[in-house]
Structure 1
């Protein structure tokens, strides 16, 4: 493999990387299901960059017209910028280009991303990618790779229609031999920490589902044992005082905190309350312009603010290595949401450990709380999180057996 790891303090691959990268290098379509914070972004980027660099240098492609070799589809502009940042760190020294087209940008800005020619790797959100496709800025039938990142969100009904339109324009390989040579088809990589049951049905429309290798981590759907889970039963009027106390404790320890609410309106209201209390914070929620969200999140990453109030737009895939505490001001509405929120702490490359504090207020939360609390206590996987794709595609475990 091209020496693209030197100088980046990457010494040992994670278990997920050990399992998945060899399958991708052999040309397999892969569905990678692994808990948050296990290095899934590098799991797909390293084989992608290695293959694309090889194609750029190969005699058989030397006279070919410039093209985009890989599209990485993500659900939010924040995640798109994050993936671009990671990819550029490896691509820039190799003379390869990475561009982003994301939500909140007009057609002019989207076309501007292609003004200097097609990037080698394009990171895009679904709506922006469809706009680029309509204007023939990128050709999905010429790709070497198509990556669907944070798949559980992108296969959700809110994105599923757009994802279907994009997949319909992508020539996905059905076997490894089809990923090689000038007439190659796209190798598919689907990545997520949880998977809805309909993933298999969608993928079956574009490729032979039997050819998709499924890699699942041993800790998939488990709560991380090094992250402390606390459930606090409180009345609604007591949530704000309890939050203030938790933030004061975190401040004394110098810890960064993510506070999750279920609604954008709650994020805004809670922000006003903390302002009155003199608590410095920032806010991020889905009704804010994408560019504003991106700027707010960068300020949190840089340590300019230590308390971030957010909706679930911040729970999927974002690099929150600074965070040591997650507070569920509103208890999440599903086990999947809880896993993603809890996964913002105790991540690979971050501080060791972390904690999740959840306020339990409503009677309808109790059943979900009991299931999560039992799983945390027994160190078992969360119930009701199995996906149909795990039953319909060939499996490969840590030992490489299938």
Structure 2
């Protein structure tokens, strides 16, 4: 059967940086395109398809209309079936909260370049399967004028991951099928699970969700770090978590959560990507674990710190999901841990427990008990996944898991997408 010729939407977007400044009014329902043009950023593009830079209407976690940027890519080859390309909605990992860290804005000099570039092998492979790919930047990334990115705020992430599905369908009618899956890594794995939870009321046609090394148990991570003396590059995540918590509860005051020393570097969250927050002149060296927060955080938190903790607890993606779920995790991952860690902090002789992905899987199995098919957990033992070589950006096994899992993930998705 011959395929009909492609019909591209008209390009209606301003050139250059002006693309990322939305018009004052955002009419229409979530997912409605605002601007679209052919992507002219070769660093961000996927070579396996036709790339479109899009600006679309979405909503923040409180229902207010916002503009969100992203990229939609259609394979070079025609669809394999008459109903069009199945769609993968991709949820990216941590890049930061500053709008310049967005994947669609990537450049070779960006602090987030290594994190943005690595998943391109996976996404190009999806295009080779004749699956279209939609890649949101998330709320607050890419677009100017929005509040900062509310890091790991589940409802916000879900809105953007799901609304871009509607954008793809409206821009390419007849080319995008009614079937889609959600795939995410790290922060994006957590976002993927929240997106699958919210999909029934926001975007129909979801057939499955895959989360690779999904971020989990944020409260454990933050409280664990707050026990330890000395600096650590991992404390760069503290301002990101606080940015997300404020997105969920704008009444949280950073000056009441953070220590006086840490507050000196709070503004960096609006000026740097995650890598820049880890530098020696910022949270990576200037802030110690047990002096990140205002006195009392661990044993007698004030009202703002209590609200901060509530938002952190709500970021854990233990949610009800009505479609097949696949989670991938490596035992050698040093960023998102598989096993629960129990350590005794020196000097203060206090035990710290940080739950990992194994615990999240158990929680999801309880929350979704009786679901068919049951959750699938692909666990890679120690030594199974080598680190990238070379390893720009010190990505480690946390990122190497993406490509190592590619054949198994593709087979799982293919069974669901029917292609």
* TM value normalised by structure 1: 0.34
Q: Which has the higher contact order (CA 8 A, sep 6+)?
A: 1
- TM superposition score normalised by structure 2: 0.33
Larger fraction in helix? 1
